[in-house]
């Protein structure tokens, strides 16, 4: 191993998605910050977000409607205070984004607003038709590059956090040339994304391995709500092809879900049909496929007109065209794919985790906004609102350097790891949109044993090519343990043996090490 390089910095943001970049810009108004990314700027998962950003923007809409819609989609497990912050502060953050140069699509002299599943009003702003995430990342990246107070290190693979006495002291990781780096800092914000990549059929890119969540868990932080995984109902479903996302906004504009005979089966499952919450649509598709011996289902947008669809969804159309399909003239085969992980590092509404000086925002965080099922397009808004708040908390945090850099000098061995393919199969068979008690028990038993040692390895014990595997092993295990523990069905967690919600389970589950704590909600 090369010699370890040490950098001392006042504050670190890990992650170059929307949450990380927006936080860095807010922090840089008052201080200097280092931004680390495992890829390159403009290369994060955020840039795949097609649909848009949900925000109250129209006089016919109201924050109380957005609040209610979020709570209903969350199936009783949202933290109402966190949701209140989201919907109330959202419009101001979006205005700031526009002031930074973001251009949303216009309809005449107004911003266009679309609708997606479980929204009672049109409130989704979009850009470039279906390129909202990419356009926001471009806007923020440009600003970050121009900012002399922000230093960027790309291709940095974070490996573990250094904490002592429940306070953060730094972070270790690897540069692209395999130089090990120790960054000493007592203010660290994790904005590292989710872990939907544990499933083989996913709308996420390869990097969605929940790195920050595992690092925080290993350092002793509380993690919550991992059992709630959102499956997007309409990922392109062609054998041998990646599960490319076909935005919910296509249904928002009026596309139907049909079977081979053109039957709109969602009317059997929910009064809102195709625009029911995502977990309902996902299970509706799976149930209809069971009834029809696994026959494919399709998204049918043809009645919306080829010209309109080409203009409104240029990215989706371009992708489909390469496969010989056209949104305007063909029915598109679709099916559920893992899309978003509601749980993550437990935070308060200021992005604070249970470790002093450690903050989390974006998909890797669990502030209680999404409950058991995220409302479509709330995540980009969450990224803005809560990364901004986390940056403000970091600015206020007492920055006296924590000199106790005591490291984990012990001799834990890494428990045997499952290979990526084995893990993905395990996740698909046991942790998908429909779960059952026997499988949950079996898989959680396997991992409960493995995770007991918390993988608490000395710094730099794992080389970069094994880090993703460690992360996915830990997250599959933690998800299995929390899913087995929750004896009910709710939102993104559905089990055939107990197919209904149970009021006794109106609680969030936190896990620290392998200890589970149930936190009752009184709303």
Binding site for ligand SIN (CB under 6 A): 49-51, 247-249, 339-340, 376-377, 379
Longest dimension (CA), the chain: 68
Q: Which residue in 123, 251, 278, 389 is the catalytic one?
A: 278
- Least distance (Å) from ligand SIN to the CB of residue 382? 10
Residue 153: how many other CB atoms lie within 10 Å: 17
- Least distance (Å) from ligand SIN to the CB of residue 152? 27
CA-to-CA dists, residue 179 to 176, 342, 412, 470, angstroms: 7, 34, 24, 20
Pairing of strands 256-258, 297-300: antiparallel
- Least distance (Å) from ligand SIN to the CB of residue 348? 24
- Least distance (Å) from ligand SIN to the CB of residue 232? 6
Structure tokens at 269: 């499952």
- Least distance (Å) from ligand SIN to the CB of residue 465? 30
Nearest to 486 by CA among 476, 495, 474: 495
Contacts of 501 (CB under 8 A, 6+ apart): 75, 76, 488, 489, 490
CB-nearest residue to ligand SIN: 51
517 φ/ψ angles, rounded to the nearest 5 degrees: -125, 125
Task: Choose between 138 and 247: whose C-beta lies nearer to ligand SIN.
Answer: 247
- Least distance (Å) from ligand SIN to the CB of residue 149? 31
Given strand 188-190, what is the order of strands in its sheet?
150-153, 33-36, 12-14, 188-190, 358-360
Under 8 Å between Cβ of 118 and 72: yes
Cα–Cα distance measured from residue 415 to residue 506, given in angstroms and rounded to the nearest whole number: 34
Task: Choose between 138 and 379: whose C-beta lies nearer to ligand SIN.
Answer: 379
Could you give the residue ranges of the DSSP H alpha helices within 147-241? 211-218
Task: Choose between 52 and 212: whose C-beta lies nearer to ligand SIN.
Answer: 52
Residue 322: how many other CB atoms lie within 10 Å: 8
Task: Choose between 67 and 340: whose C-beta lies nearer to ligand SIN.
Answer: 340
Cα–Cα distance measured from residue 383 to residue 361, given in angstroms and rounded to the nearest whole number: 6
| 389 catalytic per annotation | no
For the CA atoms of 390, 392, 393, 394, the dihedral, rounded to the nearest 10 degrees, stands at 90
Task: Choose between 89 and 116: whose C-beta lies nearer to ligand SIN.
Answer: 116
Task: Choose between 379 and 408: whose C-beta lies nearer to ligand SIN.
Answer: 379
Q: Catalytic residues, which ones?
A: 278
């Amino acid at each position: 191993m090369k010699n370890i390089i040490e950098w001392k910095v006042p504050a670190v943001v890990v992650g170059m998605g929307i949450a990380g970049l927006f936080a860095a810009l807010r922090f840089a108004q008052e201080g200097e910050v280092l931004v680390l990314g495992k890829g390159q700027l403009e290369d994060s998962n955020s840039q795949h977000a097609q649909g848009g950003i949900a925000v109250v923007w129209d006089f016919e809409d109201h924050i109380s409607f957005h609040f209610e819609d979020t709570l209903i989609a969350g199936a009783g497990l949202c933290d109402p205070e966190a949701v209140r912050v989201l919907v109330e502060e959202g419009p101001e953050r979006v205005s700031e984004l526009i002031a930074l140069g973001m251009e949303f699509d216009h309809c005449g002299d107004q911003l266009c607003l679309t609708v997606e599943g479980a929204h009672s009003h049109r409130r989704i702003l979009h850009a470039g038709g279906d390129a909202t995430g990419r356009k926001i990342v471009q806007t923020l990246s440009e600003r970050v590059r121009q900012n002399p107070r922000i230093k960027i290190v790309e291709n940095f693979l974070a490996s573990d956090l250094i904490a002592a006495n429940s306070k953060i002291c730094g972070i270790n990781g690897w540069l692209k040339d395999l130089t090990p780096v120790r960054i000493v800092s007592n203010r660290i914000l994790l904005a590292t994304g989710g872990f939907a990549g544990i499933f083989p059929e996913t709308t996420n890119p390869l990097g969605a391995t929940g790195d920050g969540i595992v690092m925080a868990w290993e350092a002793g932080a509380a993690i919550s709500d991992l059992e709630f995984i959102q499956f997007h109902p309409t990922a392109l479903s062609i054998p041998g092809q990646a599960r490319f996302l076909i935005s919910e906004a296509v249904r928002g504009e009026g596309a139907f879900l049909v079977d081979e005979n053109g039957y709109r089966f969602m009317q059997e499952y929910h009064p809102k049909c195709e625009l029911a919450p995502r977990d309902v649509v996902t299970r509706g598709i799976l149930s209809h496929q069971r009834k029809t011996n696994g026959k494919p289902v399709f998204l049918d947008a043809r009645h919306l007109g080829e010209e309109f669809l080409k203009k409104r969804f240029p990215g989706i159309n371009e992708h489909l065209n390469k496969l010989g399909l056209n949104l305007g003239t063909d029915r598109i085969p679709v099916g559920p794919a893992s899309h978003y992980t509601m749980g993550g590092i437990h935070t308060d509404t200021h992005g604070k985790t249970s470790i002093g000086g450690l903050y989390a925002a974006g998909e890797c965080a669990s502030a209680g906004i999404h409950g058991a099922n995220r409302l479509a397009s709330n995540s980009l808004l969450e990224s803005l609102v809560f990364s901004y708040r986390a940056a403000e908390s970091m600015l206020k945090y007492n920055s006296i350097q924590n000199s106790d850099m005591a490291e984990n000098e012990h001799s834990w061995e890494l428990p045997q790891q499952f290979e990526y393919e084995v893990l993905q199969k395990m996740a698909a068979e046991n942790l998908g949109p429909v779960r059952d008690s026997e499988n949950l028990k079996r898989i959680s038993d396997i991992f409960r044993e493995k995770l007991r040692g918390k993988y608490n390895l000395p710094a730099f014990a794992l080389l970069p090519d094994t880090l993703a595997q460690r992360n996915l092993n830990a997250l599959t295990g933690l998800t299995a343990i929390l899913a087995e523990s929750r004896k009910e069905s709710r939102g993104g967690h559905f089990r055939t043996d107990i197919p209904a919600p149970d009021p006794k389970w109106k609680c969030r589950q936190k896990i620290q090490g392998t200890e589970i704590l149930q936190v009752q909600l009184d709303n």
